[in-house]
A and B are shown apart, each in its own frame.
Chain A
Amino acid sequence: MESVLRSDALRTGAGGVELRLALPWIRSMPVSCVRALDLTIDGDPVEGLSVLLGGRRVDPSGLTGERSWWFLQDRLVLAADRPVRPGVHAVAVAFQLLVPYLRTGPDAPLVLPFRAEADLLLDAAPLPSVSRDVA
Chain B
Amino acid sequence: MQQLPNGWTLAASSFNWTPEVIRAERPAPEIVAAIAGDGVATVIELEAGQALRSFPEPTAEEVDALRSAVEEAGAGSASSARASTTSDRTAARAPRTSAVTSSCPSCTPPGGSGRPASACRSARRGRRCCADSSRSCTSWS
Q: Could you tell me which A residues sit within 8 Å of B by CB distance?
A: 3, 6, 22-24, 26-30, 32-33, 64, 67, 69, 71-74, 98-103, 107, 109, 127-131
Starting from the known contacts A29-B105, A99-B105, 6 additional A-B residue pairs (CB-CB under 8 Å) come to A27-B105, A67-B131, A72-B22, A73-B27, A101-B114, A101-B115
Query: How many B residues, CB 8 Å from partner?
Result: 32
Contacting pair A100 B25 (CB below 8 A): no
Interface residues of A, dominant DSSP: loop
Residue among B18, B104, B131 having the largest count of chain A Cβ atoms under 10 Å = B18
- Residue pairs across A and B with Cβ atoms less than 8 A apart, 25 shown, are A3-B19, A26-B50, A27-B55, A27-B103, A27-B105, A30-B105, A32-B133, A32-B134, A67-B131, A69-B56, A72-B18, A72-B21, A72-B28, A73-B21, A73-B22, A73-B24, A73-B53, A74-B24, A98-B134, A100-B107, A103-B108, A107-B136, A128-B25, A130-B25, A130-B26
Interface residues of B, dominant DSSP: loop
Contact among A26, A29, A67, A131 for B24, CB-based, below 8 A: A131
Residues of B within 8 A of A69 (CB): 55-56
Residues of A within 8 A of B23 (CB): 3, 6, 22, 129
Contact among B22, B55, B131 for A24, CB-based, below 8 A: B22
Closest to B135 in A: A100
